[in-house]
């Protein structure tokens, strides 16, 4: 689900079969996710029957507009935030949900718990320690440090 991944090191050796990466003196790690990539990811993870209309990234927040058709079509806007946990995983938390006059935040959070973590770097062939995640206009930037495994 990443749009781009950048690892910057003073000196690095990368080899394949099996893949391995060695960073002399450590490295910086940056992963970027743009709005279009995030919208595709969100649409692929929502339960059947829910249609994602838009995903927008504004400073500090993710806004998801979606609808579900039952007897009538119901629309909702969820405002979410991201957090780093254990230096290896990124989770999404529902901050608020504007639907049905309120009270839907817990329901949305339960759905988010089904897909969390949305990023887990513990399976990479090198060690990454995430230091933060920033939601900016149009993109998400995950930062950290990398070192040889």
User: What is the chain's pLDDT, residue by residue, as a tens digit (149 residues)?
Assistant: 789 999 999 888 888 878 888 888 889 999 999 999 999 999 898 888 889 999 999 999 999 999 887 778 888 899 999 999 999 999 999 999 888 666 678 888 888 888 899 999 999 989 999 999 999 999 999 999 999 87
Which residues make Cβ contacts (< 8 Å) with residue 85, sequence separation at least 6? 91, 117
SS3 123: coil
The whole domain housing 78 covers 4-147
The sign of the torsion formed by the CA atoms of 105, 45, 5, 88 equals positive
SS3 60: coil
Residue 100: what pLDDT? 66
Residue 139: what pLDDT? 97
Q: Specify the pTM.
A: 0.87
Task: Give the closest residue to 63 by CA, choosing from 121, 137, 13, 149.
Answer: 137
Neighbours of 23 (CB within 10 A): 22
Q: Are 63 and 73 in contact (CB under 8 A)?
A: no
Point out which residues pair with 98 in neighbouring strands.
Answer: 77
**Degrees to nearest 5, angle at CA 57 with 124 and 34:** 45
Question: How many structural domains does the chain have?
Answer: 1
Residue 45: what pLDDT? 86
Task: Give the closest residue to 33 by CA, choosing from 66, 11, 55, 65.
Answer: 55
């Amino acid at each position: 689900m990443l749009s781009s991944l950048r690892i910057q090191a003073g000196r690095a050796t990368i080899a394949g079969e099996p893949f391995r990466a060695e960073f002399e003196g450590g490295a910086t790690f940056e992963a970027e996710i743009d709005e279009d990539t995030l919208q595709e990811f969100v649409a692929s993870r929502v339960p059947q029957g829910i249609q994602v209309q838009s995903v927008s990234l504004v400073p500090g927040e993710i806004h998801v507009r979606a609808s579900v058709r039952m007897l009538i079509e119901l629309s909702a806007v969820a405002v979410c935030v991201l957090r780093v946990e254990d230096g290896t995983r990124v989770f999404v938390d529902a901050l608020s949900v504007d639907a049905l006059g309120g009270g839907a935040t817990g329901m949305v959070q339960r759905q988010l718990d089904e897909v969390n973590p949305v990023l887990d770097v513990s399976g990479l062939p090198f060690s990454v320690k995430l230091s933060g995640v920033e939601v900016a206009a149009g993109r998400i930037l995950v930062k950290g440090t990398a070192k040889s495994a």
